[in-house]
Structure 1
Amino acid sequence: MQSGPREIITPYRPIPLNVPEGLKPNEFFNSAENLNDLVQNNGLLTNPENLLLYRKALGHSLEFDASIIYNTSACILNPLGRPVRRTQLPEHVKNVWNRMNQIMIEYMLEQYPDPEQSLVIAGEASLDATWPLTSPGVPSIRMLHNHFIVFSKEELCNAQLADPSNPNLTDGGQNSLFESHIPDVYREFFDKALDLRILQTTDAETAKIALTGYPQGLPSWEIRGGAAALKDICFWQEYDQVLKGFLDFYRTFFGQVSTRNAPMPEHVYFPEQVEKVLLFNNDFLKTAKKVRDCCLKDDKYANAIRWQPAFKQLIYRNDEGKLIVTISQNSIGNAITELLGVVVKRVPDAEAYAQFEPQLMEKLFAVRQRLIEADIGAPIRNQYWREE
C-alpha cells in the first residue's frame, strides 16, 4: 500500500440559496438570513446558548458528517465581532460546548470502534475575523464551529492519490513554518507554558496516519485515558491550554514579523514564558526577520499571511486506536480533513447523495437524541425531518 494524501469524491444535494443582488456569496453567508436558511434546511438541534447542531450540506463524508456552530448571527450583527474560538466563549456557553463535543465524539467512537476500518475526526475551525469579508479564501461562515467526521479507510485506500503540492495540503509552505524553522523553541514554549496531566506529548510517527502519511510537522499530544478522559472537565481545560499556548506563540511571532522588536502582545496567557522563551531567543527573532523580509519583497506571500491567530485544532484517532490532539497554523484556509491528508472533492449529485442520506441521517438523529436526553438542546423540525 502506497502512503500518501488521498482525494475522495463526495456527492451532495444542491440546496437552492438565493443570494441578494449586489452581495458576494461570502458576504451573504455571514448574514442572519443565511443562518436561518441553515437551520431550516439542515438544522438538527438548538439550545438557549445559541449552539446549533446541523448536517453538513456540502459535506466531507457520507459516513458521518455534522457540525456544531455558535450561531451568533442574530445577536452579534457585526460579522467581524463574533467569537471565532473557544477562548472567546462565555463560560456557561463553553460548558455546554464541551459537553456537546464529548457526547458527539463518544458516539462516533462507539459506532466506529475499529481504527483499522474508520478514521474518526473532531476538529475546531478558527475563522480569522480580521480578513475583509470579500478576501479570497475567507471561510463561508465566520463563527466558531466544530466538525465531526468519519471516513471509511477502505474508501480512502481505494481513492486516488492527491497532488502533494496542493496548496491546501501544504498551506502555502506556512503550515509547518514553526516546526520547520524553529522546532526547538516551539516545543520548549509548549513544554514550559503548559501544565498538562492528561495530555502527553507524542512523537510524529505515533501521530501519523500510515495510509496518508499525515499530519506533517505538527505538535501532537496523546489523550491519556482515551475517550473516558473526555468526560473529565480537566481534559477540556488542558485542550484550552494547548490553544492558549498556540495563540501566544502565534501572536508573538507574527507581531515580530510585522514590527521589528515589537513589545509583548497585550493579554497574553503566559507572559513569563513569552518573555523568557520567545522574546530573548535569537532563533525565534531571526526566523521572524526572514518572514518579514519575504513579506517586503513578495506581495503575494505577504497577502497570504493571516496576521491574527487562525488555526485548526483536532482530536482524532490514530492507527493504534489512541486519541491524539494536534493544532495547526491555518495560513491559507486548508480544511480540517487536509491536516490528516484527506482532500475532499465535492460534486453536485442529488441522486447519488440520496442513496446514502437515510443511513447518514439515522446516525445524526441517534446522536441528537443523546444530546436531548442530556438536556443539551431541543430538536429542530424542518422540511426534511418532522417526525423523527
Structure 2
Amino acid sequence: MQSGPREIVTPFRPIPLDVPEGMAPNEFFNSTENLNDLVHNNGLLMNPENLLMYRKALGHSNEFDTSIIYNTSKCILNPLGRPVRRTQVPDNVKHVWNRMNQILIGYMLEKYPDPEQHLVLAGEASLDATWPLTSPGVPSIRMLHNHFIVFDKQMLRDAALADPSNPNLTDGGQHSLFQSYMRDVYRRFFEALDLRILKPVSGTAAQLGLTGYPQGLPSWEIEGGAGALQELRFWKEYDEILKGFIDFYRTFFSQVSTRNAPPPADAYFPQRVEEILLFNNDFLKTAKKVRDKCITDAKYANSIRWQPAFKQLIYRNDEGRLIVTISQNSIGNAITELLGVVVKRVPDAAAYEKVEPALIEKLLEVRARLIEADLGEGIATRYWPAA
C-alpha cells in the first residue's frame, strides 16, 4: 500500500449557533456566550480548576474524540490575555491537568490496544495570542486545550491520499523553517535538555508507515510506555521539551525582528541560548534571510507569528511504542496533520447520528473514571445526564 498523507471525511451535526451581525465567526467563538453554549450542549465534566472536558461538536474522529479546555472565559475576558500554552498554567491547575491527561490516554490505550487497528494520539496546539482575531484560520477558541483522538486505521487505509503540498501538512520535511535551514542546531539545542524518561528517536522509528508522518521532527520515545505517564517526572520532561522549543522560537524571532538582539529576558535556558544558538552561523544566517524578506514582502511579514506557536503530542507508533514530538505550528492546520491525517468535516446529521451513541458511550465511560478520581463533576446536557 502506498505511503502518504490521508484525507478522511468526518460527518458532523450542524451547530445551531447564530453569530451576531458584524462579528467574524472566530471572534464570536472566543466569547463567553459561545463558551456557555459549549458547556451546556457539549460539556461532559468541569472542575474547580476551570478545566472543562467536552464532546467535540466539530470533531476530527467519530471513533473517539474529546478535548479538555482551560476555560478562562469568565476569569479573563480579554481573549488575548488567556493562557495558550502549558507554561502559562498555574501549578495547581497543571497538576490536575496532567492527571486528567494520564487517565484519558490510559483509557484510549486500554480501549484500543492494537496499533495495527487504531491510531491513538493526544496533545495540544498553541493558540498564538499574536494572531489577529479576524485572520482566516485562526483557532476558534483562544484558550489552551488538549485533544484526545482515535482513528480507525482501516478507515485511513481506505481514505484517499491527501495532497502532500497542502500547506496544512506542516512538518519538518516540507514546510518548517527550523528543520529546513537550522536542523542541526535545532536538534543540538534539544539534545542539551536533561531527559531521563524521554529517549531521542528518529526516522522510521517515529513515523507511521501508513502516512510517512511526522517527517524530520525531533521525537522521543517514552521509555516505560503507558506506565511512565503515571510518573510526575514524565510530565516535567514533557514540559522541558516545550520550554526548549519556546526558547528556540523566541530567540530566533527576536533575531528576525532585531539584528543582534540579546537573549530573551525570560529564557528558560539562557546559557544554552547564548552558547548554542547565538554563536551559530546557520541560526543567524537564517534569521537574516527571514528579516530581509520581511522588509521587502509585506504579505510575508504579516504571516510571521512572532510569539511561540507549536503543536506537541503523544502518539502510538506502529510498534505500539509511545512517541512525543513537537512542531512549529502554522495558521489553519490541525494537530492530526502532524501525523499526516487531513480531516475534511462535512455537515451530515444523519451520518453523525448513526455513530453518536457509541461515541457518547465511550466519552461517558472515561468521564466516570475522571469523576471517580476526584477530577471533576459531570455536566448534564440534552444528550446525557450529569452522572
Give TM class, smaller chain: over 0.9
User: What is the one-letter code of the residue matched to 2:31?
Assistant: S
Q: Does 1:319 align with 2:318?
A: yes
SS in 2 for 1:214: coil
Partner residue in 2 for 1:298: 297
**Is residue 53 of structure 2 the alignment partner of residue 53 of structure 1?**
yes
Matches of 2:174 and 2:146 in 1, distance apart? 23
Q: What is the aligned partner in structure 1 of residue 360 from structure 2?
A: 361
Q: Secondary structure of 1:168's partner?
A: coil
Whether the aligned pair in 2 keeps the contact of 1:66 and 1:364 (CA below 8 Å) is yes
Count residues in correspondence. 387
1:256-271 matches, cutoff 5 A:
256-271=255-270
Are residues 128 and 387 of structure 1, via their aligned partners in 2, closer, same or farther at CA, if it must alter by over 3 Å?
closer
Pairwise CA RMSD: 1.3
Q: 2:111 corresponds to which residue? A: 111
Q: 1:98-155: per-residue Cα shift (whole Å, max 9, x none)? A: 0000000000000000001100010111100112211222110000000000001100
2:203 is aligned with 1:200: no
Letter in 1 for 2:380: R
Deviation at 1:319, TM superposition (A): 0.4
1:338, distance to aligned residue in structure 2 (A): 0.3
| Gap change, CA 1:338 and 1:120, over 3 Å in 2 | same
- Larger displacement relative to structure 2 (236-245 or 169-178): 169-178
Q: Secondary structure at the match of 1:201?
A: strand
Partner letter of residue 59 of structure 2?
A: G
Per-residue deviation at 1:181? Answer: 1.1
Q: Is contact 2:173–2:180 with CA below 8 Å preserved after alignment?
A: no
**What is the CA–CA distance in structure 1 between the aligned matches of 2:337 and 2:122, rounded to whole Å?**
13
8 Å contact kept, 2:169–2:340: yes
1:62-141 matches, cutoff 5 A: 62-141=62-141
1:3 maps to: 3
Q: Does the residue aligned with 1:167 lie in a helix, a strand or coil? A: coil
Counterpart-to-counterpart distance in 2, 1:310 and 1:387: 36
Residue 373 of structure 1 is matched in structure 2 by 372
How far off its partner does 1:291 sit? 1.4
Q: How does 1:90-239 map to 2 (within 5 A)?
A: 90-170=90-170, 175-192=175-192, 194-239=193-238
TM-fit CA distance, 1:285: 0.3
Structure 2 Cα separation of the partners of residues 231 and 161 of structure 1: 37
Distance 1:171 1:133 in 2: 25
User: Offset of 1:303 from its aligned partner?
Assistant: 1.9
CA apart distance, 1:382: 1.1
Equivalents in 1 of 2:171, 2:136: separation in Å?
A: 14
**In the alignment, is residue 243 of structure 1 matched against residue 242 of structure 2?**
yes
Percent sequence identity is 77
Counterpart CA distance in 2 for 1:333 and 1:93 is 28
Aligned counterparts of 1:246 and 1:200: Cα–Cα separation in 2:
17
Distance in 2 (CA, whole Å) between partners of 1:387 and 1:375 is 15
Alpha-carbon shift at residue 204 of structure 1 (Å): 2.0
Unaligned residue ranges in structure 2 (runs of 5+): none
Corresponding residue SS for 1:147:
strand
Deviation at 1:20, TM superposition (A): 1.6
- SS across alignment from 1:27: helix
**How many angstroms apart in 2 are the aligned matches of 1:69 and 1:170?**
24
Q: 2:168 is paired with a residue of what secondary structure?
A: helix
Post-superposition CA distance 1:150-202 (Å, at most 9, x none): 0011000000000111110147998422122111111111112x100000100
Give the Cα–Cα distance (whole angstroms) in 2 for the partners of residues 121 and 387 of structure 1: 27
The separation in 1 between residues aligned to 2:251 and 2:137, in whole angstroms, is 24
Asked if structure 2 preserves the Cα contact closer than 8 Å seen for 1:175 and 1:330, the reply is: no
Taking structure 2 as the reference length, the TM-score comes to 0.98
Is the contact made by 2:11 and 2:351 (CA closer than 8 Å) also made in structure 1?
yes
Instruction: Give the conservation status (yes or no) of the 8 Å contact 1:305–1:331.
Output: no
- What amino acid is aligned across from residue 142 of structure 1 in structure 2? R
Distance 2:239 2:123 in 1: 13
Q: Secondary structure at the match of 1:155?
A: helix
CA 340–328 in structure 1, closer or farther in 2 if over 3 Å, else same? same
Contact 1:175–1:328 (CA under 8 A) maintained in structure 2: no
User: CA 1:67/1:82 → structure 2, altered by over 3 Å: closer, same or farther?
Assistant: same
In the alignment, is the contact (CA less than 8 A) between 1:372 and 1:378 conserved in 2?
yes
Contact between 2:254 and 2:264, CA under 8 Å: does it hold in 1? Answer: yes
CA contact (8 A) 2:125 2:335 kept: yes
The answer on whether the counterparts of 1:204 and 1:220 sit within 8 Å (CA) in structure 2 is no
The alpha-carbon distance between structure 1 residues 172 and 21, as it changes in their structure 2 partners (threshold 3 A), is: farther
283-292 or 106-115, which moves further after superposition? 283-292
Tell me how far apart the structure 2 counterparts of residues 333 and 174 of structure 1 sit (CA, whole Å).
Answer: 16
How far apart, in 2, do the equivalents of 1:90 and 1:35 lie? 21
Cα–Cα, structure 1 residues 196 and 128, in superposed 2: closer, same or farther, change >3 Å? same
Q: Which amino acid aligns with 1:113?
A: P
| Residue pair 1:313, 1:325 contacting (<8 A) in 2 also | yes
Aligned-partner residue type, residue 218 of structure 2: P
Aligned residue number for residue 252 of structure 1: 251
